[in-house]
Amino acid sequence: MNAAAPQLIEASSPHVMNTYGRVPIALSHGQGCRVWDINGKSYLDALAGIAVNTLGHNHPRLVPALQDQLTKIIHSCNYYHVPGQEQLATKLVELSGMSNVFFCSTGLEANEAVLKLARKFGHDKGIENPQIVVYERAFHGRSIATLSATGNEKLQKGFGPMVPGFIRVPLNDIEALKKATAGNPNVVAVFFETIQGEGGINPMRAEYLRAVRELCTERDWLLCIDEVQSGMGRTGKWFAHQWAGIKPDVMALAKGLGSGVPIGAVVAGPKAANIFQPGNHGTTFGGNPLAMRAGVETLRIMEEDGLLDHAAKLGAHVRAVLDRELGSHPGVKDIRGQGLMIGIELSKPCGALINRAAEAGLLISVTADSVIRLLPPLIMTQAEADEMLGLLLPLVRQFLAEA
């Protein structure tokens, strides 16, 4: 029952480093798109652990597969062959049309490898000071290099000096990209999210993606795409750039790939597949048997259950309702996104909605200060989506009615 008021537990972790502004609840378990906190209150999950829990919680086919793997081997290390790596790589190659995969454990790690690949691509052709084009409002992670590639001064503040070698440009402006790189022989790559997640659900337009693809081919630059949030079926295609019919040279994946088990991957096309040689890169946990099993089973279940189509259709339904109910509201600036990656930009900062939604039994996030972000598990049913909208819409209207 939802009767008990949520208990504030934020002060109960005096030994955990204070790095997050947390919602004052703790989740204990979940089933499908529903989760329960330690006080027994239930919530509809419209966040999926930030686009991670692709298959929701306690999935009836994923969990037994993981249990089976736990009894066999969890970790073996990369001194040895890991058959699951070849299995998952084969699948990712098939789905992406690319050719080789490196496995790691997180999004920033995947992006860090992308940056190293791009730099070595340059060094291999004699460029001593390779430069990589990145974007305003981008988010690529919190390591020093990926933070340097990130376009958010608030996140960078206090951690300088940033890593050099980045050129920053605005989104969806091919002339600005040409101008920023004009006559510069040191450019080696262009790196962006197809739909910026943390930056506020900002999509790259299809024509822009095709123009960048063309420019990269023409100038012999690597086209590198961070699909950590927008990939893995979230937009209704395996990878969001596929909506534009383009293929990158390098792609970073993580978040939804293991349905909750930490995993990251760098997928490379022929132009980037042989840049790393033995000794160039590695990571202890990367490609471990448990994570590989999670990835293989996640992809298998997604295919068996037609979750790509489902995400596209359900996303269109949610968008239609949002457009109808909020589209002409003066306090709503824009509704954006694709599939089940949806942003509602309000005319004022709306971080307060996170706790209000939790109180009402709905888990959402707010990003870029004023963008409500919906990233539900891809298994969400239409009835659950309507329940999500039924909880969210009155909260938004109420919030916008306040001075």
Ligand X SMILES: *Cc1c(COP(=O)(O)O)cnc(C)c1O
Per CB under 6 A, residues contacting ligand X are: 106-108, 111, 139-141, 193, 197-198, 226, 228-229, 254-255
- β-pairing, 131-135 vs 187-193, is parallel
Min dist. Cβ of residue 261 to ligand X (A): 12
Please give the residue whose beta carbon sits closest to ligand X in the complex: 107
Min dist. Cβ of residue 372 to ligand X (A): 16
Sequence-ordered list of residues with C-beta below 8 angstroms from that of 288, at least 6 positions apart, any chain = 74, 75, 76, 77, 82
Report which secondary-structure segment, H or E, holds 401. helix 382-401
Whether 305 is a known active-site residue: answer no
Smaller CB distance to ligand X: residue 145 or 389?
145
Min dist. Cβ of residue 106 to ligand X (A): 4
Instruction: Give the three-state DSSP class for 230.
Output: coil
Smaller CB distance to ligand X: residue 107 or 165?
107
Following DSSP, what letter does each residue of 310-366 receive, concatenated? HHHHHHHHHHHHHHHHHTT-TTEEEEEEETTEEEEEESS--THHHHHHHHTTEE-EE
Min dist. Cβ of residue 307 to ligand X (A): 20
Q: Which of 41, 121, 191, 226 is catalytic?
A: 226
Whether 255 is a known active-site residue: answer yes
Closest CA to 247 of 276, 277, 227: 227
Smaller CB distance to ligand X: residue 193 or 384?
193
* Length of the chain measured in residues: 403
Q: Which of 121, 139, 166, 285 is catalytic?
A: 139
Smaller CB distance to ligand X: residue 224 or 353?
224
Residue 330: Cβ within 10 Å count: 7
Min dist. Cβ of residue 198 to ligand X (A): 6
- Are 336 and 202 a contacting pair, CB within 8 Å? yes
Alpha carbon of 346 to those of 116, 277, 332, 335, 399: distances in Å? 38, 48, 4, 9, 10
Measured CA to CA, the distance from residue 11 to residue 115 in angstroms comes to 39
Closest CA to 307 of 89, 19, 95: 95
Cα angle 253, 89, 78; round to 5: 95
φ/ψ (deg, to 5) at 212: -70, -40
Smaller CB distance to ligand X: residue 265 or 321?
265
Instruction: Give the three-state DSSP class for 200.
Output: coil
Whether 139 is a known active-site residue: answer yes
Min dist. Cβ of residue 104 to ligand X (A): 9
The distance from CA 351 to its chain's CA centroid, rounded to whole angstroms, is 20
Smaller CB distance to ligand X: residue 141 or 236?
141
Instruction: Give the three-state DSSP class for 321.
Output: helix
Min dist. Cβ of residue 252 to ligand X (A): 7
Q: Which of 45, 255, 276, 285 is catalytic?
A: 255
List the beta strands (DSSP E) in 16-56: 27-31, 34-37, 42-45
Smaller CB distance to ligand X: residue 108 or 342?
108
Instruction: Give the three-state DSSP class for 283.
Output: coil
Instruction: Give the three-state DSSP class for 231.
Output: coil
Instruction: Give the three-state DSSP class for 296.
Output: helix
By annotation, the residues acting in catalysis are 139, 226, 255
